[in-house]
Amino acid sequence: MAKKPNLVLFGIDSLRADHMSLYGYKRLTTPHIDKFAAGGMVFEHCFSPSVPTTPGYGSMLTGMDCFGTNIVALRHKGDFAEGVKTLAEVLKENGYNTTSIGFSGNPAARGFDKYIQYENWGSWEQGRSPKAGKLNEVAIPELERLAKEEEPFFLFMRHMDPHSPYLPPEPFHRIFYGGNEFDPSNKSLEPVYQFKPFKDYFLTWFPPGCTDKDYIIAQYDGAVAYMDACMQNVFAKLEALGIEDETLVVITSDHGETLYDHDCYFDHHGLYDCTLVVPLVFCFPGKLPGGKRFKDYCQLKDVKPTILEILGIEVDIRFDGRSLMPLARGEYREPEPEFYITECTWMRKHGWRTPEWKLIHALEPDFHFKPEVELYNLIKDPEENNNVADKEPGVVKMLEERMLQHIEKREKETARKNPMYTNLEWHGKRSGPFKSSQQAYDTLYIGDPETARRLQAIHDKKRQEMQE
């Protein structure tokens, strides 16, 4: 019996597609991924409809939507809905050796034979953070080990470089920035420093005294470029081991990232497309067509059924997602142009997205003091800067009805209430739903105030010395 193909899956945390040169970004952030993906299939409109990390990876690695997994919140308590299997569990049942690198503690991480951790965080005091380099230090030896085994393998790698703190090592921290990040006349970071829930966190990894938002954005882009260079090490190792023709490689992300967008500074909350649109690449020389780009809408729930079809593994699972392989064969695949979107990161909201419209409906007041209902015309306003909910009440009503119809349908199919309605401790504060935006603003908080104060004092002392 022929050995089944191997699987290498890059699950990159917080990678927004529109900051990749693969998707037309003005900066050359992903040259190695671009070259590698040219030999495979690239999907230009892949969505992670339920953010952030926990439901994002949950959908990616189960083939289910949020109703199917019963998970919508970052701080989810408990496991998936009964009967849901992870990709690692399915592949293990089919004779695969399975290893997870940098990914545990998430329901979707269940079922791997081996878990390997690496240093994937950082702060200003700790210095530049070579996250992808640290990953490679453990991933390359593990790849070599797996390649020697008789059984096929599944290697999952969770890259964290695009996730804050953005601290790419030299020379990547300045490859996209030539200005003065300490220019006192630049006031662009003032609103960021005034946002109390995140202020102390930012002060632990922003350069003390930094004033320019574009420098921080350049750090994100530099982190992506650094990660891209390190991923090339893995591509090269597959070739050196002589297994590139036996290995399916998939590149995707659990969600995107907000940078200076929509007041959701340098994080991944908000149901805007910068958070929802993620990369999706499949490469398998000789088995999948090369040089193909598809504009069809797809979602993370489609990743697992696609992988299993490519690997030739049949399962008795009724996925919510659908394989993308009909497109690879030039066949018709029924589009899914509109869909339900959810968020339980720092806000609890849901909505409905079509190719033309985006409806966002807050289920409780948020800490940005945004209106309860937002509506964006994605054709006229693709960056979602102009809320037209008050001007288009008919559209709001129509989208709300379609969303509620979908919720009712999925509740009947799963015999469970919508998890957006039941997960009322999504923020982990044990205070129930917020009654006002002010309550949310005063309650939600991340950061280390002592470290922030110490770094700020060092900056103030240096500035005073310079003035003297």
**What is the pLDDT at residue 461?**
56
Question: Which of 380, 381, 340, 324 has the alpha carbon at shortest distance from 44?
Answer: 324
Helix axes 303-311, 53-62, angle to 10 degrees: 30
Distance in angstroms (rounded) separating the CA atoms of residues 65 and 76: 15
| Residue 399 exposure: Cα atoms within 13 Å on the Cβ side | 27
- Please state, rounded to an integer, the average pLDDT across all residues of the chain: 94
Question: Which of 347, 240, 247, 252 has the alpha carbon at shortest distance from 20?
Answer: 252
Q: Where are the alpha helices (DSSP H) in 292-392?
A: 303-311, 325-328
Instruction: Classify residue 401 by burial, with Cβ atoms within 10 Å: 0-12, 13-18, 19+.
Output: exposed
Question: Which of 216, 165, 148 has the alpha carbon at shortest distance from 186?
Answer: 216
**What is the pLDDT at residue 450?**
67
Distance in angstroms (rounded) separating the CA atoms of residues 340 and 55: 13
Contact 8, 264 (CB under 8 A): no
**What is the pLDDT at residue 125?**
81
Contact 5, 152 (CB under 8 A): yes
Confidence of residue 466 (pLDDT cuts 50, 70, 90): very low
Q: Which backbone phi and psi does 247 adopt, to 5 degrees?
A: -130, 125
**What is the pLDDT at residue 79?**
86
User: pLDDT tens digits for 310-332?
Assistant: 999 999 999 999 999 999 999 99
Residue 414 has pLDDT above 60, yes or no: yes
List the structure tokens of 221. 């882009």
pTM: 0.95
Query: Which residues fall within 8 angstroms of residue 442, CB to CB, at 6 or more apart?
Result: none
Kindly provide the b/e burial profile for residues 301-329, where b requires at least 16 CB atoms within 10 angstroms of the residue's own CB. Answer: bbbbbbbbbbbebeeeeebbbbbbbebbe
Contact 202, 192 (CB under 8 A): yes
Diameter over CA atoms, the chain: 79
User: pLDDT tens digits for 123-165?
Assistant: 888 889 999 999 999 999 999 999 999 999 999 999 999 999 9
Strand partners, 361: 350, 373
Instruction: Classify residue 116 by burial, with Cβ atoms within 10 Å: 0-12, 13-18, 19+.
Output: middle
- Across the beta sheet with 357-362, what order do the strands follow? 50-51, 339-344, 348-353, 357-362, 373-377
Q: Which domains does the chain have, with CATH numbers?
A: 6-336 (3.40.720.10), 340-443 (3.30.1120.10)
Question: Which of 28, 172, 48, 42 has the alpha carbon at shortest distance from 108?
Answer: 48
**Which residue bears the tokens 């280390």?**
448
Of residues 407 and 468, more confidently modeled:
407
Distance in angstroms (rounded) separating the CA atoms of residues 297 and 309: 19
Contact 162, 13 (CB under 8 A): yes
Residue 456 has pLDDT above 70, yes or no: no
User: pLDDT tens digits for 170-221?
Assistant: 999 999 999 999 999 999 999 999 999 999 999 999 999 999 999 999 999 9
User: pLDDT tens digits for 277-323?
Assistant: 999 999 999 999 999 999 999 999 999 999 999 999 999 999 999 99
Distance in angstroms (rounded) separating the CA atoms of residues 313 and 311: 6
Residue 397 has pLDDT above 50, yes or no: yes
**What is the pLDDT at residue 1?**
54
User: pLDDT tens digits for 363-380?
Assistant: 999 999 999 999 999 999
Residue 467 has pLDDT above 50, yes or no: no
Report the pLDDT averaged over residues 242-248. 97
Of residues 238 and 464, more confidently modeled:
238
Residue 105 has pLDDT above 90, yes or no: no
**What is the pLDDT at residue 112?**
97
Residue 463 has pLDDT above 50, yes or no: no
**What is the pLDDT at residue 462?**
52
Structural element, H or E, at residue 155: strand 153-157
